[in-house]
DNA sequence: TTTGCATATGTAAGCGCTTACATCTGCCGA
DNA sequence: TCGGCAGATGTAAGCGCTTACATATGCAAA
């Protein structure tokens, strides 16, 4: 037995069971190769000593961890929650463990987290969005760690991704808005720097403007950080314009809800005085009054498919494929025809 | 140089820089011990080769990872989000990395995650609530991994924890409710099995009943899973009673918001026809109409303090202390005197 | 000049595990 | 009876890093 009160090792188990370390290792990793009686004896020793494998050692020797990492921009609210949960469930059913880290929407932190997760032996990574220093892709390639991008798809990057077309989705929403007769459109967007999804959504709005005979450059866009309060402030800012917008298209539900609240605080009726639309269809959207018209995203499906794709990349050394999911307009109460 | 296109090791760097592996290691871990010129040379080699330390090896040799793990019951919504974010920020400022896993409120999964994180070399763990198989505590003790419990405090467990007194907080809320003259109280609670916080909150309600001359056993309690929809269903269930309750005390904001929505759907005025209270003061609570009267919890402070405590336990081998934070009643619009 | 010491660097022993390969056992067919 | 073989187990070589200890270097003091 090794020193008192220290964590038992494979060696301790081997000694205690009277076999070699190889046999113990085999009991744990490929029990089929060990004869029943030996295995029982070994397992008993494992029990008795309360042995747990040392992960570092295992990684070093085997080079597989059955761990995948996900780095999401934020845990502060639920945008990524549902998708991530589904991702985790699928992984779990395939015997992988998910480790999550958050980047707080900051590229340096994301880079740190990527390296941290890779260093800890993640077999694969789930990343959100394409915007990212190219050196990171190179790094992952060299480390031989496959990465899958989610929450967006994009034809013009080589990286596999599973998600939806942010641009087309937002264009569809804006088409709807313009079709109702809105002429003065305000946009409350998240910060576009370093965030391709945000930029694509804005492009989608512009596409629709153009297609409907408006000059996209007349759009009043305000960018602000993620947060209900920020949505509220942006609301005030945009509604100061003369004449004021009849509709506020928001880049996500959180901003939209902030705008909604501020409208109420200002005594403005939604959608009577001003229409408001969101994006993501978080649970929030159905709870507020009036219920938010928004873009529905297949979070759970995305998570599940992402897990499968990533595991495929890991296990079969596959380059991974890109799968595009459909979004759907959720017409609820916060959007209507503009006041005449 | 080692084989083409494989991950560079310390050895490669050492060769390339013309020094020993020890020197490279020192450059990386305690640069002060290495003379400037050598260090520069080594760092250049590191750059050129794109070297990153192998974590497994490092853990094995150094037995420290500067990683802490947190296992939370759910990522599906924001209850733990704010606290966790603060926790992460504080850790980050002290050079620790946070890895998060979720247990989906299931003990077996929590156990798995605990082992996974420990196996991956977590220097310490943040756990939510005290309810947990004792063998896990024993396991952590043997593995020498300190664990801190958050989101609750409890006098009668030896484990250090930082959080608030769920029982007292809920008692205060209930006191307030009863003081307003409510006599028929319904309770929508989360599932109490394996969740000490939920049980304490229920106890708090009973305490207040007792203290105000009511028989706690007359309480109509319904337990349901976490989720807005579940809150809505519980609302229907409780409101079927004759005579029906004048107030619904909910174990958390999510359930309360569900109840709120269903009330609206049923054409019932809140708080006119029925009062509703929550717990947690999530962002949600201020957004719904009417704004939710709830119990405010110092999430960020809790997260920050938890990080400090845990690091103290890790670095100074301290047993850890228990710190209790204050909650505060957030009186908003969803609670008023009962209809006569 | 020599000695002694501080400082910089090198050497090599693990850390706990997996696995290729070697060895041993027992049983089969010839 | 014995060779051959399959199956069970053992042996030992790493995996990539840190660090105690050994060695080398340079400089101040004697």
Whole-number Å distance, CA A36 to C1' C22? 23
Residues A321 and A303 in one domain: yes
Whole-number Å distance, CA B167 to C1' C11? 62
Q: How confident is the model at residue A333 (pLDDT cuts 50, 70, 90)?
A: very high
Residues B121 and B224 in one domain: no
CATH code: domain of residue A19 = 1.10.260.40
Overall pTM > 0.75? yes
pLDDT digit string, tens, across residues B284-310: 898 888 999 999 999 999 999 999 999
User: Does residue A23 sit in helix, strand or coil?
Assistant: helix
A120 closest CB neighbour out of B55, B102, B113: B55
Q: How confident is the model at residue B8 (pLDDT cuts 50, 70, 90)?
A: confident
Per-residue pLDDT, B6: 66
Cβ atoms B17, B32 nearer than 8 A = no
Residues B120 and B77 in one domain: yes
pLDDT digit string, tens, across residues A220-241: 999 999 889 999 999 999 999 9
A133 CB-near residues (< 8 Å, 6+ apart) = A107, A111
Per-residue pLDDT, A4: 38
Contact A55 B59 (CB under 8 A): yes
Residues B46 and B77 in one domain: no
Tokens representing B108 are 């077996």
Residues B316 and B232 in one domain: no
Residues B244 and B255 in one domain: yes
Whole-number Å distance, CA A56 to C1' C23? 30
Tokens representing A36 are 């029943």
Q: How confident is the model at residue B4 (pLDDT cuts 50, 70, 90)?
A: very low
Over range A38-55, report the average pLDDT: 89
Per-residue pLDDT, A54: 83
Of all nucleotides in the shown strands, which has a C1' nearest the CA of A35? D8
Question: Does A288 contact B at CB distance below 8 Å?
Answer: yes
Residues A206 and A291 in one domain: yes
Can you give the residue range of the structural domain that contains B32?
10-53
Distances (CA, A) of A131 to A51, A127, A199, A324: 44, 10, 10, 18
Chain mean pLDDT for chain B: 90
Residue A57 and residue B53: Cα distance in Å, rounded?
15
Contact B102 A85 (CB under 8 A): yes
Residues A158 and A185 in one domain: no
Please check the confidence at residue A5 and state whether its pLDDT lies above 50. no
Tokens representing B12 are 């490669």
> What's the number of domains chain A is made of?
3
Over range A28-36, report the average pLDDT: 88
Residues A171 and A274 in one domain: yes
Q: What is the DSSP letter of B292?
A: P
Residues B314 and B280 in one domain: no
Cβ atoms B292, B260 nearer than 8 A = yes
């Amino acid at each position: 037995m090794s020193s008192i009160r220290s964590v038992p090792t494979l060696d301790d188990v081997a000694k205690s069971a009277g076999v070699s370390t190889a046999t113990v290792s085999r009991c744990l990793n490929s029990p089929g190769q060990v004869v029943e009686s030996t295995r029982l004896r070994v397992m008993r020793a494992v029990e008795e000593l309360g042995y747990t494998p040392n992960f570092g050692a295992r990684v070093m020797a085997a080079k597989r961890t059955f761990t995948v990492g996900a780095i999401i921009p934020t845990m502060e609210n639920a945008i990524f929650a549902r998708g991530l949960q589904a991702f985790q469930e699928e992984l779990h059913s395939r015997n992988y463990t998910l480790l999550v880290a958050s980047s707080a929407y900051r590229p340096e932190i994301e880079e740190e987290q990527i390296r941290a997760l890779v260093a800890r032996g993640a077999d694969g990574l789930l990343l959100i969005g394409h915007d990212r220093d190219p050196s990171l892709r190179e790094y992952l390639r060299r480390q031989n760690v496959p990465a899958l991008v989610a929450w967006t798809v994009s034809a013009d990057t080589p990286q596999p991704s599973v998600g939806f077309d942010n641009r087309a989705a937002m264009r569809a929403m804006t088409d709807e808005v313009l079709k109702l007769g809105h002429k003065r459109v305000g946009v409350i967007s998240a910060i576009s720097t370093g965030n391709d999804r945000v930029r694509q959504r804005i492009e989608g709005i512009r596409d629709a403007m153009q297609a409907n005979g408006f000059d996209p450059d007349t759009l009043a866009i305000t960018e602000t950080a993620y947060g209900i309060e920020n949505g509220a402030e942006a609301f005030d800012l945009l509604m100061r314009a003369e004449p004021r917008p009849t509709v506020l298209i928001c880049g996500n539900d959180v901003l939209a809800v902030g705008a909604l609240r501020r409208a109420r605080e200002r005594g403005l009726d939604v959608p009577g005085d001003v229409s408001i639309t969101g994006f993501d269809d978080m649970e929030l959207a159905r709870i507020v009054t009036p219920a938010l018209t928004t873009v529905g995203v297949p979070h759970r499906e995305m998570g599940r498919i992402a897990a499968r794709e990533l595991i495929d990349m890991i296990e079969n050394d596959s380059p991974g494929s890109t799968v595009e999911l459909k979004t759907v307009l959720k017409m609820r109460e916060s959007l209507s025809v503009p006041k005449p």
